[in-house]
Structure 1
Amino acid sequence: MEHPLPKSWSIHTRPEIIAKYEILERVGSGAYSDVYRARRLSDNLIVALKEVHDYQSAFREIDALQLLQNCPSIVVLHEYFWREDEDAVLVLEFLRTDLAAVISDAKKKEGGVRVGEVKRWMLQILSGVDACHRNMIVHRDLKPGNLLVSDDGVLKLADFGQARILMEPGFDGVNDEQQLPVEQNTGSQANETPLDFVPDAHSLPDQGFNKQVVEDTNREEYLRQLVELKAKRHAMDETDKEMNTIDGYSSCLATGTISDIDDDTHKSSYSYNAEEGGHDTNGALTSCVGTRWFRAPELLYGSTDYGLEIDLWSLGCIFSELLTLDPLFPGVSDIDQLGRIISVLGNLTEEVWPSCSKLPDYKTISFAKIENPTGLEACLPNRSADEISIVKRLVCYNPANRATAMELLNDKYFNEEPLPLPISELHVPLTKNDHDEDSPCGWNDYDDMGSDSDFGHFKVETTGSGFSMQFS
């Protein structure tokens, strides 16, 4: 259904845009962006025009998509418009639906998503995540709604408004205060040879824009570098290295900002649904990223010293949802999210993740001891041992133990019967669901994500450094 066009918005009066594109309808809207379906006048190509109202988000998305411009599993950035006195407008490949709609549609029919379909969807997702991680880009908001799907079943990662380019584990190589060129820039077309490079931190120019990747590497070299990164992160965990903090705060929980901006996880895939609030400036990272149901536990405990592994946790949650058609951890608040994770995986202790006690909020928030956690097997009834194993290799406390995207791409699960279906045989919904309509079942059961006080019973005690919350 077409939405009326708000003629007062700048995108409709900017001559450089309307000279090249006919704006057809608004297809998405969020706190930080509005998205329009448009037609390119030169060749009638249908595109998405994403008008981004937040500087950091626009910078990050352009920066990441430029670096990933030749990757077939990443949404194409055709060009962008950005003047000093205007919002950025990104011209993106238009993909009509997303994986959230695929899951929602599968819930309405008997049989769900066939194993061959699950494998093909997952291979496409893994390919996109691998491309990001090869280029040291952490997406930070992987979820079904940000995995766009074309009419012919091609899946691509989108919405890089929260993405960061990491030069070292836990540290960002891009200064958020950098200025982008104000002239428009044309990106590459799709279906070119994918990038197969890892950036050299010492070879990149100071500007985070238009980086040229300078080091070619094969699969073995990539795996070697990932092992080194994991080892370095483990070594850092074993030291008393002071954690980076944001504006004097350690996390969303500590500041009381429960990050409910993106509680509606069904918003348009093209919309920027950040929960970040712009606190991670000057190169530091923030824990207030991602969508709650797919947020790694280190973020929920306030870590600002994290790496690519937070995407791998999200990947495990997505894989689980493809298998069961229900979210793995549908928390109604950040505390409830932690509680749901702990009830399944058990308490977070030094035994399962050495040095986890150094997480900023680890000593502030404690849960009663879970004697008999339910385990991931109970969350994945009637699924194969291989499927459960893959989820376990991703949804685990210690980030260093999470399987990389490349490791999973080579997993035997994808080479055994039933084999992944050809992309052309994937079921793609005829229409993209309006996520605030239809049945109240599924994700809409959790639309009312209240404050942390909604979670169970808790006791607050004052301490020398503030307060402690005990949950039962």
Structure 2
Amino acid sequence: MDLPNRSWSIHTRPEIIQKYEILERVGAGAYSDVYRGRRLSDDLIVALKEIHDYQSAFREIEALQVLQSSPNVVVLHEYFWSEDEDAVLVLEFLRTDLASLIKDAKRNWEDGISGGEIKRWMVQILHAVDACHRNSIVHRDLKPSNLLISETGVLKLADFGQARILIEPGFDNPHLHEPHDPNRVTIIQHAEVIPEADNSHQEGSGNQEKGTMSKKEYASDLDDLKAKSSIDDIDKETNFHDGNASCLATCTTSDVEDDPFKGSYYYEAEEGGDDTYGKLTSCVGTRWFKAPELLYGSTNYGPEIDLWSLGCIFAELFSLEPLFPGTSDIDQLSRIFSVSGNLTEENSPGCSKYPDYGIISFNKVENPVGLEACLPNRSPDELLLVKKLICFDPASRATAMELLHDKYLNEEPLPVPVSELRVPSTNHAQDEGSPGGWCDYKDMDSDSDFEEFSTFNVTTTNAGFSIQFP
């Protein structure tokens, strides 16, 4: 059956060009294109994200609707979606991101990022992640290039194309279905949105109702939701690990080969089935920020995978270098183990049940170097903050709300006001001639290429085979 003709361009869609002037394309990838535009009614500069994949568009719209009251999540002004055209999301335009800030600090700031600045960035990131988790949303692709920054220093989480809302499969919310209007649907605010946590110590947060959920209740609810989300239909993932993958004000796109899953160690395509609230998949996220359980193929996870990513981001703010810059999924695990030791039932109960745990094994790391070697000259409190997130046992990772009350963030030097943050004047991906690409992340595409290893042992087992790396 032939697919319907699509314009693949917002330039030819009258419902859009009647309201917006398309100024330039600022990002491009296999599944989306992003344009800077001007709203004709009031000259507001916006980002228009044209998404060529139904599932990514659905997830991003769904998550952004739920989070519209969150001051540290990118604003979705409206979206356009018709039966024979791609979805186009109209988002607030933010000129740079945390990836560019880290790069700028490394190149041009003699003193790096100050302690007070780091803390303010952390507070804003934590508010964004807490908003997601309190509304049962797992972002699944946290990284510096998805943390956008306004010219005034406000940080906002973006790119929810891989996000999942952990709700009961039978739950029917009429606002989350594909629009009935063939041309345009404006945003409908969710009545079910859970209020954000206390933002009283963050500038510009506005008047927010304070959440009263205890940690025990919070964890219990998330466990219930996670259990309810596992149904028979597999999550047929259309998002994948990024190669050169970030774009201004956007939300991330992905530049990949025609076959995005070629060489992916985990992905097994299954045809058919409604996967909107289906079983989770390990084929999400960007390698450098990916939790070990995902690298071992686990599909039984929740917000804890975002918390590991947070630890990698915070470590990078301290050192201005990626914590685990793996060149393949196997190399990623090797780098993690060289720092933290091997993954075992002792430090992560239940890890032996990960799908690939019995297939991939490593020689015992006798003397792991520890996070101290990766973050030299950092204080004990700074190291402890990262250690609360970079731990093998997902259940032991500190929540975003716990970290907002952490000693480190509430002692001198205190987080500086947002107005005092230094912000890069441009997005470095643009400067380096790579639209939508952060060049330092060029090797993060997902694979499990073995050729970089000189030796490895393959052993036949009852389950099939086992691969051991030195």
Same fold (TM over 0.5): yes
**Counterpart residue number, 1:17:** 16
1:431 to 426, 429, 432: 426
**Counterpart residue number, 1:96:** 95
Which amino acid is the alignment partner of residue 144 of structure 1?
Answer: P
CA contact (8 A) 1:130 1:405 kept: yes
Asked if 1:453 corresponds to 2:450, the answer is: yes
Q: Distance in 1 between matches of 2:347 and 2:225?
A: 16
**Counterpart residue number, 2:251:** 270
**How far apart are 1:371 and its partner, in Å?**
0.8
SS of 1:453 mapped into structure 2: coil
CA contact (8 A) 2:166 2:225 kept: no
**Counterpart residue number, 1:77:** 76
**How far apart are 1:174 and its partner, in Å?**
8.5
CA contact (8 A) 1:79 1:185 kept: yes
**How far apart are 1:445 and its partner, in Å?**
5.6
Distance 1:53 1:230, change over 3 A: closer
Which amino acid is the alignment partner of residue 81 of structure 1?
Answer: F
Matching of residues 119-198 of structure 1 within 5 Å? 119-167=119-167, 179-183=177-181, 184-187=184-187, 196=195
Deviations 1:74-114, CA, capped at 9 Å, x for gaps:
10000000001100000001000000000000011211111
Which amino acid is the alignment partner of residue 412 of structure 2?
Answer: E
CA contact (8 A) 2:241 2:284 kept: no
Deviations 1:131-179, CA, capped at 9 Å, x for gaps:
11110000000000000000010000000000000137xx89799xx85
Identity of aligned residues (%): 64
Q: Distance in 2 between matches of 1:179 and 1:232?
A: 24
**Counterpart residue number, 1:385:** 380
TM-score, length basis structure 1: 0.82
Q: Distance in 1 between matches of 2:290 and 2:138?
A: 13
Matching of residues 332-351 of structure 1 within 5 Å? 332-351=327-346
Any unmatched runs of 5+ in structure 2? 1-6, 198-207, 262-266
Q: Distance in 2 between matches of 1:84 and 1:52?
A: 14
**Counterpart residue number, 2:201:** none
Distance 1:14 1:102, change over 3 A: same
Distance 1:445 1:164, change over 3 A: closer
Distance 1:19 1:446, change over 3 A: closer
Q: Distance in 2 between matches of 1:10 and 1:391?
A: 43
SS of 1:148 mapped into structure 2: strand
Q: Distance in 2 between matches of 1:74 and 1:330?
A: 27
Distance 1:182 1:299, change over 3 A: same
**How far apart are 1:245 and its partner, in Å?**
8.2
SS of 1:64 mapped into structure 2: helix
Distance 1:232 1:181, change over 3 A: closer
Q: Distance in 2 between matches of 1:141 and 1:179?
A: 23
Q: Size of the alignment, in residue pairs?
A: 425
CA contact (8 A) 2:101 2:424 kept: yes
Matching of residues 351-366 of structure 1 within 5 Å? 351-366=346-361
Q: Distance in 1 between matches of 2:461 and 2:233?
A: 22
**How far apart are 1:273 and its partner, in Å?**
3.4
RMSD of aligned C-alpha atoms? 3.3
Distance 1:353 1:233, change over 3 A: farther
**Counterpart residue number, 2:220:** 228
Q: Distance in 2 between matches of 1:267 and 1:19?
A: 25
Which amino acid is the alignment partner of residue 315 of structure 1?
Answer: L
Query: Greater shift after overlay, 279-288 or 314-323?
Result: 279-288
Query: Greater shift after overlay, 266-275 or 55-64?
Result: 266-275
**How far apart are 1:367 and its partner, in Å?**
0.5
Any unmatched runs of 5+ in structure 1? 1-7, 199-215, 237-242
SS of 2:460 mapped into structure 1: strand
Deviations 1:162-198, CA, capped at 9 Å, x for gaps:
0000137xx89799xx851142222389xxxx95169
